[in-house]
């Protein structure tokens, strides 16, 4: 076993890890190592926005996790596309940039996350981004992360916006501004024609620094402790075990599934579970791996007539033309992310929050990541704030063995009610005049599914992960929190967790933008600038 050393070691080159690698290495006196289990982001499909669909089943860049059989989904196992590459999931995701509602960050602070009120985190959202629409009180223009408006929305996307407006919803010009409720076009992490994720922005800026070392294709085994302080990290590289001595801090940024697994392998978790696996207990912390949350996504689809959708435009001569348009002009289908427009609304009249989301795409799916051959359009629906809670636990001390994932989707009746309400709203939109003129009928779930019980049964049979997993190393000030409000792991020293796993609750939207914000704020905490 070989050893080396650094001041700061970051485990995981996902969105937060890339941000930290940049910010911590800005001071040339800091020796920083970024450790990533996956390869470099060399594949062209990572950088061409629309081709991310082809990486959803590629084990070279994807952990391809599977849940345990889900009791609430008739025993089905759910697939999780999670990035295993520089950039993490931001290298294979749909590039959608959604911050969430200001009030939800205020709720984090009210529930014990001191310093995480929206007024506290807004400067970090702004610092992170270079928004195509320019700078104002809510948006940033000089940050690394490219955020673009859609250049040429599909006519069906504009029809979705028209349909929502016809039902009385306001049209929101900026879903990442002060107001959230209403219909809006998605913004994308794109600069020019290419994906602009943290690996291509934050990390690219930092790669030439002599005080930053990036070690890829290296799987973290565990963190070592000396007198209660994190002092080293062991990892596997090409079958050989190596060790890095850390002088200041270890930062775990391995994601909502990976981070609790590393803590548990390192002896931080429920003592009874760890002892049963033969892992010496460093700290009895039953909350590690608990509080797993995710958006449970269910789609409604229509066959389309009279206009070309993404389905046909990705095949044959049309696909060749799209490739040429992308290469020559940097325009067209290949610059598009996974979703086109969204509606944020209250699932029920008595909802205190905007608590449901619909996501529109001018295409339809035969399976996750696979477009149908026939023309179609889709509205995905989910409750924004799931009440169901799951868990992630390791099966052994072997880092190569995937952990046990139990999301417990739809285990709470509130999630069931809100999902049915969201799916009914999706149907109303697709049946409205603006979209109905393009429709040749509903294909999923079909007219035979009508009652609440039938809709819920369909959701149990066909629903999938929204891939917005959070919460397994939740921050807070109580005994059920894994990290404190400065993201320090409780009960030990020199160890933090910085990624989506620290979010105490799901944001109302995609989790990428909040994760980047967390990385920015954590960097100031680590460097004691805050």
Question: 440 an active-site residue?
Answer: no
CB atoms within 10 A of CB 442: 16
The most distant pair of C-alpha atoms in the chain lies apart, rounded to whole Å, by 70
Q: Which residue has the tokens 């999670």?
A: 82
DSSP 8-state symbol, 412:
S
State how beta strands 145-147 and 182-185 pair: unpaired
Q: Which residue has the tokens 């680590």?
A: 526
CB atoms within 10 A of CB 448: 7
Task: Tell me the C-alpha distance between 490 and 98, whole Å.
Answer: 30
Instruction: Copy the structure tokens of residue 226.
Output: 């000396």
The distance from CA 87 to its chain's CA centroid, rounded to whole angstroms, is 12
Instruction: Copy the structure tokens of residue 17.
Output: 């890890």
Task: Tell me the C-alpha distance between 185 and 360, whole Å.
Answer: 9
Q: Single out the catalytic residue among 47, 295, 468, 512.
A: 468
Q: Which residue has the tokens 């009120």?
A: 117
Task: Tell me the C-alpha distance between 118 and 103, whole Å.
Answer: 7
Of 312, 420, 452, 322, the closest CA to residue 373 belongs to 312
Task: Tell me the C-alpha distance between 41 and 88, whole Å.
Answer: 9
Instruction: Copy the structure tokens of residue 502.
Output: 């620290």
Known binding residue 85? Answer is yes
Task: Tell me the C-alpha distance between 57 and 514, whole Å.
Answer: 25
Asked if residue 252 lies in contact with residue 235, where contact means CB atoms within 8 angstroms, the answer is: no
Which secondary-structure segment (H or E) carries 528? none
Task: Tell me the C-alpha distance between 477 and 498, whole Å.
Answer: 17
Task: Tell me the C-alpha distance between 207 and 311, whole Å.
Answer: 38
* Cα Rg, the chain, nearest whole Å: 22
For 337, phi then psi, to 5°, come to -90, -160
Query: Residues annotated as binding site?
Result: 85
Residue numbers belonging to the annotated binding site for FAD:
85
Residues forming the active site: 468
């Amino acid at each position: 076993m070989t050893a080396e050393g650094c001041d700061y070691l970051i485990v995981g080159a996902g969105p937060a890890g890339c941000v930290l690698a940049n910010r911590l290495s800005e001071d040339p006196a800091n020796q920083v190592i970024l450790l990533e289990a996956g390869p470099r982001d060399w594949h062209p499909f990572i950088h061409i926005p629309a081709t991310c669909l082809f990486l959803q089943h590629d084990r070279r860049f994807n952990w391809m996790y599977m849940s345990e059989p889900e009791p609430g989904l008739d025993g089905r196992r759910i697939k999780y596309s999670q990035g295993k590459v520089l950039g993490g999931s931001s290298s294979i995701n749909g590039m959608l940039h959604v911050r969430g509602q200001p009030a939800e960050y205020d709720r984090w602070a009210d529930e014990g996350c001191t310093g995480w009120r929206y007024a506290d985190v807004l400067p970090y959202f702004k610092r992170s981004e270079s928004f195509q629409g320019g700078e104002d009180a809510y948006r940033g223009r000089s940050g690394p992360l490219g955020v673009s408006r859609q250049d040429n929305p599909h006519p069906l996307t504009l029809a979705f916006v028209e349909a929502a407006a016809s039902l009385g919803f306001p049209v929101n010009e900026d879903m990442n501004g002060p107001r959230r409720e209403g219909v809006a076009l998605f913004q994308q992490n794109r600069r020019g024609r290419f994906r602009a994720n943290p690996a291509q922005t934050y990390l690219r800026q930092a790669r030439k620094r002599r005080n930053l070392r990036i070690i890829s294709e290296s799987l973290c085994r565990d963190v070592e402790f000396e007198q209660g302080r994190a002092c080293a990290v062991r990892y596997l590289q090409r079958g050989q075990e190596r060790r890095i001595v850390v002088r200041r801090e270890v930062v775990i940024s391995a994601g909502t599934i990976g981070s609790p697994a590393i803590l548990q392998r390192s002896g931080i978790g429920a003592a009874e579970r760890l002892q049963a696996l033969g892992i010496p207990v460093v700290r009895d912390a039953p909350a590690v791996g608990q509080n797993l949350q995710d958006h449970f996504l269910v789609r409604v689809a229509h066959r389309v007539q009279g206009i070309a959708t993404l389905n046909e435009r990705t095949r044959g001569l049309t696909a060749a033309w799209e490739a040429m348009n992308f290469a020559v002009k940097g325009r067209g289908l290949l610059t598009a992310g996974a979703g086109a427009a969204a509606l944020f609304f209250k699932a029920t009249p008595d909802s205190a929050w905007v608590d449901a989301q619909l996501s529109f795409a001018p295409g339809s799916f035969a399976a996750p990541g696979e477009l149908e051959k026939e023309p179609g359009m889709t509205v995905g629906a989910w409750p924004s704030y799931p009440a169901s809670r799951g868990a992630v636990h390791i099966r052994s001390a072997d880092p190569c063995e995937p952990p046990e994932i139990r999301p417990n989707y739809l285990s709470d009746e509130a999630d069931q009610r809100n999902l049915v309400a969201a799916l009914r709203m999706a149907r109303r939109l697709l049946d409205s005049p603006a979209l109905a003129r393009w429709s040749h009928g509903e294909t999923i779930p079909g007219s035979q599914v009508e009652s609440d019980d039938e809709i819920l049964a369909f959701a149990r049979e066909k629903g999938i992960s929204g891939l917005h997993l959070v919460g397994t190393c939740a921050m807070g000030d109580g005994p059920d929190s894994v990290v404190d409000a400065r993201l320090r792991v409780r009960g030990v020293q020199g160890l933090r967790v910085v990624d989506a796993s620290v979010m105490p609750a799901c944001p109302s939207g995609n989790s990428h933008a909040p994760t980047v914000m967390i990385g920015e704020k954590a960097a100031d905490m680590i460097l004691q600038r805050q």
